[in-house]
Structure 1
């Protein structure tokens, strides 16, 4: 069973999601945008402080007004007092009452003249007003507003029935208070003791405009919040659609690739998108194609291995079966030699196959170090001469100065590449032939690269075969060589190693027009300190 594609090991802590890991990306986008709208909607709650500010201003205003009225009444005689109280009541839609020092009502503007306001009975109002009051109570509950007393006209109408009036008489200071009328609109009242202690002046009025102002602002803000929320949700859904839908298509294609139920799984590339989603789509598409090529190469390699192993095995089986039935000692010796040759061939095949199968994976885990190719090639040639691996061919190497041919790589692998190319050059070169090795710096595309060339005097490589020779188990061998002496994996392994070092390897004709092949290796160059070589 395939392993999970996400685990704690490959999911960095900085990117891990805990409580949101089971929440769809669509809902996350909506939640973020709605949260922002909710923060804006919180402004509805702050309307309570706006209302409190208005009420406080009205209370202060009422204290100043009643102070002015009290000092004006103190200087007027009885008829003028009555006229003044009626005028103030009409002008400010208020009720003005005057109590004597014993608390008895002396004058009342609602008795002296028609009332300027009337308290509304909620039972006689339409349902819309009831709904508005319920909404007001709901907002008061949300903000935990202070409890406000109800305004009720006292009977009998005496000073003692109004706490602010009693407090004003006892403290000789202006007092103001707010209560709720039966329809839950503010009632602003104020009281002040007359300057000469002749009584207490008490005013009240129904500030219905405060309720209208607050409700209008609340309605406007609610409409703004609702409109913003609607637009935000629509944009969030659009954003989620443009992100989530392609991601789901990519995830579905990735699952099909993982399951491997379809031979060719087409991962959408989304060419019209130039954002990160499009980049991800194209990266996944390229990855799936590379994976498919890897799988195909692995399957082809397995088939080639099976085919290559069958031949020596069949020959070995025939030789062993003949040994059991042949009595001629000369023929038995010949069959024994064949069996030994097949065993060596199998050993060579298995060794090269093992090397070819793991070299690519090992390169991805290898830590590259600065390698001086000049020094490495020189040491390799000394070993070959000591072991007699060059037959009667001569290998010459013009060693570059130290630090010229330095690359980042893995020394053993790069040495294997040069060794494979030298084996190939020696096997194709005629007896007494010359094999030359060159290593130098070349400048390509504003970058310095190290070029290594292996030049032989063999028959050369036909243009039609210059790519085929790098395929695994390529069977073209020099004339006169005994069958089975090479596995056909040397050049394939060399290309794998060079490409793992971000380089290239190719075959071409010699530059001087003479018969022979020239193998070019190009690798990124660095200086001895491990830094890329920059042009002078």
Structure 2
């Protein structure tokens, strides 16, 4: 029996995790499994970075195209300028305008019949587009994306920042605008000879459509993964939480004192830790039920055993008041003395038996030399003298190290009870032999007598509490019937076995055998 261990009610680690104990397992499982979904949802914000990179690349491309178109317009005669301007606008998908040094428009691809630059009216958009535009605005606000200036037409070329920069001497200039429907508009300007400037404008709605398409695909993936994750989380929570709740309800009912009517589910189909816990709790409840039954039976037996001497004592005391003869009074006083002695011995044994389990659970086991203990006990018996000429001897000494882990005083009581029992049943001038030997990893102690023996059908009953079969030569009430029961309790606490069997030599008598595990060298428990 291992000693009791003091468990701390809480430590720093438990206190650090105390917040999690306030939340049910189901939301905690859902929270853990949806954490990955939150990381996946972060892809929405990554798309904003993706859009910014595309806009930067498109702006650089617009700046290069503006310079190339400006060089192409410079290389041809003015008579072919409008034709080339329209051709370039058609090929690049941009609106091209020429401004003189005063900012006055001298040519416009739209006026030349190339109507490829168009801004959508957001009021005419469908519900899907309005929802997408609202989502764009929400994400931009969350990620705090810089808001581009709103695009609007300007009659004076010098009011375009790109044109103004080029007229001031810049080699090129580019600006990203925000159309009314939140699509980007990119304008780029390049200088022309004579202080003129070329301005290109393109509505890059393909960038917005591309980002929205990727966002839609990511949303579909996120919804599918979320549905699978939530479904698996709920399944996992159900397979974990529901059995735990059943076990908790059963444990509460056991705690409320309903152990006999509670059936703790064993969950035999589960081979995981919850199944192990269920079976452990079921076994624990069965053991508790058996302990309660044993306690109630013990209480009933104690009541029964105490009533007999008390009834005899009361009868003797009542008779003393009516008896005047000295011999009769002396006889009654002798009965009173025997009953008091019997009650004292019975109460002492009952007290020891009732406290034995608790005391053994707190005991510290140390190596005990059983062979030396038996030799000392036999020597003390011979020195005190044994009644009726019975001899007690120690046979077949092993002369080895027969050490067991245990509490010496308790083990000594086991062997003393067995020797006393053997002496009680031995005939006059009989022999009680005690032997100890090694049997592989076990120590075996035998106590043999030459009495009538124990019938096979009674070999288990004699270890029950208050078993009252005694030898014929022994007076009534000299034993409590708890000696062998106490011996079995002590041996069980030492992880051993005790039993009774017939002698090998087929002579009359009984052999009590105690088997205890041998201790390893230097072991202390």
Deviation of 1:57 (Å): 1.4
> Is the contact made by 2:86 and 2:114 (CA closer than 8 Å) also made in structure 1?
no
Q: Which residue of 2 aligns with 1:157?
A: 156
Deviation of 1:361 (Å): 1.2
The answer to which of 392-401 and 367-376 deviates more is: 392-401
Q: Which residue of 1 aligns with 2:446?
A: 453
1:301 to 286, 298, 302: 298
The answer to which of 75-84 and 136-145 deviates more is: 75-84
Q: Which residue of 2 aligns with 1:175?
A: 173
Deviation of 1:402 (Å): 4.2
In the aligned structure 2, how far is the partner of 1:383 from the partner of 1:314?
Answer: 38
Per-residue deviation, residues 63-120 of structure 1 (Å, max 9, x unmatched): 2222222233332222343333222211121012222333332222222232212111
In the aligned structure 1, how far is the partner of 2:166 from the partner of 2:367?
Answer: 96
1:423 to 420, 433, 438: 420
Per-residue deviation, residues 424-456 of structure 1 (Å, max 9, x unmatched): 11111112221122222213xxxx111111111
1:521 to 510, 514, 518: 514
Q: Does 1:499 align with 2:497?
A: no
Q: Which residue of 1 aligns with 2:307?
A: 310
The answer to which of 409-418 and 162-171 deviates more is: 162-171
Deviation of 1:13 (Å): 5.1
Deviation of 1:215 (Å): 0.6
Q: Which residue of 2 aligns with 1:96?
A: 96
SS at match of 1:440: strand
SS at match of 2:500: strand
Q: How does 1:373-384 map to 2 (within 5 A)?
A: 373-384=370-381
Residues 1:321 and 1:197: Cα distance change in structure 2 (over 3 Å): farther
SS at match of 1:45: helix
Q: Which residue of 1 aligns with 2:147?
A: 147
**For structure 2, which runs of at least 5 residues remain unmatched after alignment?**
1-6
In the aligned structure 2, how far is the partner of 1:71 from the partner of 1:198?
Answer: 14
1:483 to 476, 480, 492: 476
Deviation of 1:407 (Å): 1.1
In the aligned structure 2, how far is the partner of 1:420 from the partner of 1:336?
Answer: 30
> Is the contact made by 1:316 and 1:338 (CA closer than 8 Å) also made in structure 2?
yes
Q: How many residues align?
A: 517
Q: Which residue of 1 aligns with 2:363?
A: 366
Residues 1:303 and 1:114: Cα distance change in structure 2 (over 3 Å): same
Deviation of 1:314 (Å): 1.0
Deviation of 1:170 (Å): 3.2
Q: Which residue of 1 aligns with 2:253?
A: 256
Q: Which has the higher contact order (CA 8 A, sep 6+)?
A: 2
SS at match of 1:19: helix
> Is the contact made by 1:437 and 1:452 (CA closer than 8 Å) also made in structure 2?
yes
Give the TM-score of the pair, scaled to structure 1: 0.92
Residues 1:434 and 1:105: Cα distance change in structure 2 (over 3 Å): same
Deviation of 1:9 (Å): 4.9
Q: Which residue of 2 aligns with 1:347?
A: 344
Q: Which residue of 1 aligns with 2:289?
A: 292
Q: How does 1:153-302 map to 2 (within 5 A)?
A: 153-154=153-154, 156-158=155-157, 160-170=158-168, 172-194=170-192, 198-261=195-258, 263-302=260-299
SS at match of 1:184: coil
Q: Which residue of 1 aligns with 2:131?
A: 131
Q: Which residue of 1 aligns with 2:458?
A: 465
The answer to which of 359-368 and 196-205 deviates more is: 196-205
In the aligned structure 2, how far is the partner of 1:38 from the partner of 1:373?
Answer: 68
Deviation of 1:212 (Å): 0.6
Residues 1:316 and 1:177: Cα distance change in structure 2 (over 3 Å): same
SS at match of 2:294: helix
> Is the contact made by 2:98 and 2:198 (CA closer than 8 Å) also made in structure 1?
yes
In the aligned structure 2, how far is the partner of 1:88 from the partner of 1:62?
Answer: 13
In the aligned structure 2, how far is the partner of 1:343 from the partner of 1:258?
Answer: 40
Q: Which residue of 1 aligns with 2:433?
A: 436
SS at match of 2:20: coil
SS at match of 2:168: helix
Per-residue deviation, residues 206-258 of structure 1 (Å, max 9, x unmatched): 00101111111111111111111111111111111111221111111112211
> Is the contact made by 1:370 and 1:409 (CA closer than 8 Å) also made in structure 2?
yes
SS at match of 1:20: helix
Deviation of 1:290 (Å): 0.3
In the aligned structure 1, how far is the partner of 2:138 from the partner of 2:115?
Answer: 33
Q: Which residue of 2 aligns with 1:401?
A: 399
Deviation of 1:531 (Å): 8.5
Q: Does 1:54 align with 2:54?
A: yes
> Is the contact made by 1:97 and 1:105 (CA closer than 8 Å) also made in structure 2?
yes
Q: Which residue of 1 aligns with 2:4?
A: none
Per-residue deviation, residues 454-502 of structure 1 (Å, max 9, x unmatched): 1111111111011000000000101110001100001000100111111
Q: Which residue of 1 aligns with 2:20?
A: 20
Deviation of 1:19 (Å): 2.7
**For structure 1, which runs of at least 5 residues remain unmatched after alignment?**
1-7
Q: Which residue of 1 aligns with 2:3?
A: none
Give the TM-score of the pair, scaled to structure 2: 0.94
Q: Which residue of 2 aligns with 1:4?
A: none
Residues 1:531 and 1:339: Cα distance change in structure 2 (over 3 Å): closer
Residues 1:531 and 1:342: Cα distance change in structure 2 (over 3 Å): closer
Residues 1:142 and 1:482: Cα distance change in structure 2 (over 3 Å): same
In the aligned structure 2, how far is the partner of 1:64 from the partner of 1:401?
Answer: 106
